[in-house]
């Protein structure tokens, strides 16, 4: 089946945060929005068909997860990663971010630290600080335009009373796909210091063909406390439907997480989120495979264009995710000046790097998941403005 990722689909007037929220976020509504991490591509046709069929039944009452929901995820993880997950390990949740907050509450006490690895997705920080836990930072090392975990400094964090590590795998925003030896080292350290790890693997299915994602839990031993967060939202472009899953083999950890959600009386399902979840995992594989080839070609085209036309902006080549981490430090602008340059002069809306914490200043995050012509036209405006600026 052929999928047209070059098709430009208007999202104006759909209450899209990415598009209809431009004026509120950037101060003007005419920027090309390459910020919020959703895609400007139609979801897999099987998902749309399943949603339409469900909508045709005119009663939308309280809904429970059917066998199809659990089976779709179990089969997907087995097919993609050879990971054999038991149904009882799966806890459905309203989203990965709420799951991170719940993990901080459930797995730590107020005096126990939580480790994050900046630059990283901003809710990792707020999940810790909003819950009143000590925030311990283990900044990633940038070496030869590739990021690495600083294990020596990580051990120092673990020695400061840390109880929980929030791992982003693949990493948002720097695009690293952690390798098996890196993950094994991480697990060894976690065992020595009895750390629980929440592994946010929401981008796991969005890995470029030359790389391979390894679920952290597939390297675990009995007794390892690992919470894996997955979702079809990023993979199949259905984040607005708000359903994710935690995979927790350890019964005590699982019970603690279930109790954290129960204390808030949070419901994680509705008839449409469940329908989309099951359909995406069961039938969306061909669409995802085609998507990653398209995104790979867009990534490569952007990397080449920057090298040839905007050498002052250096991209960190993503191994996974549809996000591109742009090193703009050679422009010698402050973070405020960078944002003003891209928004006011280039009419491009991106996420400023400083919101991702330590190591993010001087960077910008660009979302590649739009029709390629849209992305390339936006970059041409940057090249034009920089030529005139110089």
Q: pLDDT value at position 303?
A: 98
CA 69 – CA 77 distance, rounded (Å): 13
- Please report how many Cα atoms fall inside a 13 Å half-sphere around the Cα of residue 385, on the Cβ side: 17
The yes-or-no verdict on residue 384 having pLDDT over 80 is yes
Provide mean pLDDT across the span 224-232: 98
d(CA 223, CA 227) in angstroms, rounded, equals: 12
Taking 80 as the threshold, does the pLDDT of residue 1 lie above it? no
Query: How confident is the prediction for the chain on average, in pLDDT?
Result: 97
Give the mean model confidence (pLDDT) for residues 355-383. 98
- H/E run at residue 157: helix 151-158
Report whether 29 contacts 349 (CB < 8 A).
no
Its pTM stands at 0.97
Examine the pLDDT at 147 and tell me if it is beyond 70: yes
Domains in the chain with CATH codes: 17-44+285-389 (3.90.1150.10), 60-283 (3.40.640.10)
Q: What pLDDT does residue 304 have?
A: 98
Task: Indicate the pLDDT class of residue 120, thresholds 50, 70 and 90.
Answer: very high
The residue whose two tokens read 């991480």 is 186
Q: What is the DSSP string of 213-259?
A: ---GGGG--TT--EEEEE-SHHHHT-GGG--EEEE--SHHHHHHHHH
The values of phi and psi at residue 207, to 5°, are -115, 135
- Asked if residue 390 has pLDDT above 70, the reply is no
Looking at residue 345, what DSSP letter applies?
I
pLDDT tens, residue by residue, 34-75? 999 999 999 999 999 999 999 999 999 999 999 999 999 999
The confidence score (pLDDT) of residue 219 equals 98
Alpha-carbon span 105 to 100, nearest angstrom: 9
Give me the mean pLDDT over the 135-146 stretch.
Answer: 98
Residue pair 323/172 in contact by the 8 Å Cβ criterion: yes
Nearest CA to 231 out of 112, 73, 340, 377 is that of 73
Higher pLDDT, 92 or 268: 92
């Amino acid at each position: 089946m052929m999928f047209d990722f070059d098709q430009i689909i208007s999202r104006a007037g759909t209450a899209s945060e990415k598009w209809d929220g431009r004026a509120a976020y950037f101060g003007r509504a005419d920027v090309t929005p390459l910020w919020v991490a959703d895609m400007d591509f139609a979801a897999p046709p099987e998902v749309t068909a399943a949603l339409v069929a469900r909508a045709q039944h005119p009663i939308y009452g309280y809904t429970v997860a059917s066998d199809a929901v659990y089976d779709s995820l179990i089969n997907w993880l087995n097919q993609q990663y050879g990971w054999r997950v038991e149904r009882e390990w799966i806890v459905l949740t309203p989203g990965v971010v709420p799951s991170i907050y719940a993990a901080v509450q459930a797995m730590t006490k107020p005096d126990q630290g939580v480790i994050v690895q900046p630059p990283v997705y901003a809710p990792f920080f707020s999940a810790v600080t909003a819950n009143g836990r000590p925030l311990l930072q283990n900044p990633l090392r940038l070496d030869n335009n590739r990021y690495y975990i600083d294990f020596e400094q990580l051990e120092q964090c673990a020695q400061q009373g840390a109880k929980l590590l929030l791992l982003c795998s693949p990493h948002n925003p720097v695009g690293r796909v952690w390798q098996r030896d890196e993950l094994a080292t991480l697990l060894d350290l976690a065992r020595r210091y009895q750390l629980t790890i929440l592994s946010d693997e929401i981008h796991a299915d969005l890995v470029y063909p030359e790389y391979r994602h390894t679920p952290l839990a597939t390297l675990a031993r009995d007794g390892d406390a690992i919470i894996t967060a997955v979702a079809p939202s990023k993979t199949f472009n259905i984040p607005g439907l708000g359903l994710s899953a935690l995979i927790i083999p350890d019964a005590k950890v699982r019970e603690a997480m279930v109790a954290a959600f129960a204390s808030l009386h949070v419901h994680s399902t509705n008839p449409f989120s469940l329908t989309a979840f099951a359909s995406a995992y069961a039938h969306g594989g061909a669409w995802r495979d085609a998507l990653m080839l398209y995104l790979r070609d867009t990534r490569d085209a952007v990397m080449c264009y920057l090298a040839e036309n905007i050498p002052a902006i250096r991209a960190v080549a993503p191994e996974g995710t549809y996000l591109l981490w742009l090193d703009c430090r050679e422009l010698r602008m402050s973070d405020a000046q960078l944002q003003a340059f891209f928004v006011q002069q280039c009419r491009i809306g991106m996420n400023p790097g400083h919101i991702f914490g330590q190591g993010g200043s001087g960077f910008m995050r660009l979302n590649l998941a739009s029709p390629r012509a849209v992305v390339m036209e936006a970059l041409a405006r940057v090249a034009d403005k920089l030529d005139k600026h110089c």
